[in-house]
Each structure stands twice: as C-alpha cells, then as structure tokens.
Structure 1
Amino acid sequence: MPGAIGVGTEFQATMRGARHPARVTMTSTKFSQPLSLASVSRMRGMDIEGTPDFSTEGGQTRLAWSWTLHPRGFLRCIAPAIRAMGKRQEQINWVGLKDYLERPGREP
C-alpha cells in the first residue's frame, strides 16, 4: 500500500461469515500516531464507527475497541441482533489476535 496512513486513508476488506461475503470500505477519520485512531467502516446495509483505546495495565498494553453501529433499511429492525453478533465476533477477533501475538517462536 503506497503512501502514509492518515485521515482519509481507505482500506478495502471482505467480511465473511454471512451468506454472501460483504465488501467493506474502512476510512480513517482520526489519526494522531501513537495517541489516537478512529475509523468508519461502510458496507451496503450499515456503517460502523470505531475507536480503539490503548492503555497500560500491569506493564502490559490493553487494547479495547468502542464502536457504534448505524444500520440502514431493514437492518434497523434487527439492530439488537446485529449488535449481539458483532460483540461476539469482536471477542473472537481479540482472542485470535492475542493468541497470534503471544505464539511462541512468532517472528515480530
């Protein structure tokens, strides 16, 4: 990916797990390295605004993610279910990232 990352930088991703893969465009909306980062992820049925939070605890770094879901159309009717699925998937992602980062013999 050429160029520096900053406000307005866009990333493309594909979310799997639903019936059909969903194309997502993530745009950096705040970037002040290393202090703050925020983004909005846009897909066909919803937008998700997210902000990670980095803190130290017992000499280790804790990473948390706050996000706000903005469903459109029919998805507004099932927003509580979407939020619950999102929280579950987020937990799976954090556990996977932790396992990867703490894997013995992993190259930095």
Structure 2
Amino acid sequence: MKTLGEKIKSIRKLNKLNQTDFSSTIGISQGTLSELEKDKYKPSLETVIALKLNFDIDLDWLLLDEAATFYSGLFQVKLDDLESKLISGFRKLDLGDKQEIEGIVDLKLKRYRDK
C-alpha cells in the first residue's frame, strides 16, 4: 500500500509535473510539497480539496487507501492502481489517440477470444 505522500507524488508524476508546477497548481510551496511527498506531515483540507478539483482524484483512494471507484450506471466497480492510471491517462488524450487505443484494445480482445 502506498503512503499518502507516495500517492501525492504519483499524482504529480502521472501528470508529468515538476514539484514547482504541481505545488503552484494546488496552492502550496514547493518545500511544503516536498515534505508532503516524504510523509513528514499530512496535507491540509485545502490541499486535499485542491488535489480533487485540479486532478479529479478519488478521495477514497487518497485518504482511505481504498481502490478508486468507477461508477457505471447503477453499478460501482473498484479499480486497481493500474486501471486508475490507465483511465486517468486515457482521459487526457485527444480523440484520435483515444480511437487508436480503442483499436489496440479491440485487437487484443479479439486475440484473447480466439485462443
């Protein structure tokens, strides 16, 4: 299980931001971010809210160490870290790249079904 600091660092890395840019986005100093990532102390409520608003993170995952939740219609599905990372990255792609990924997934699924 990742610590809170490791999760904050993974959010930053996933978004390809350095500490200066990431900390500016969530309204804290670079030094404070460094201390958070090292688990020297816990983030303030304002920092947690800024993480949610700016990076659309799952607060259950961040604070409760539960798998991220994906809501599909009436069903709630827990996502593991890899699934969350893939979905988060996918959302940042333009339409053409999303369609390319969809084609790759379709091909992989066809190969899997044909076995």
Same fold (TM over 0.5): no
Bigger relative CO (Cα 8 Å, ≥ 6 apart): 2
TM, length-normalised to structure 1: 0.29
TM, length-normalised to structure 2: 0.27
Larger strand proportion of the pair: 1
Q: Which has the larger Rg?
A: 2
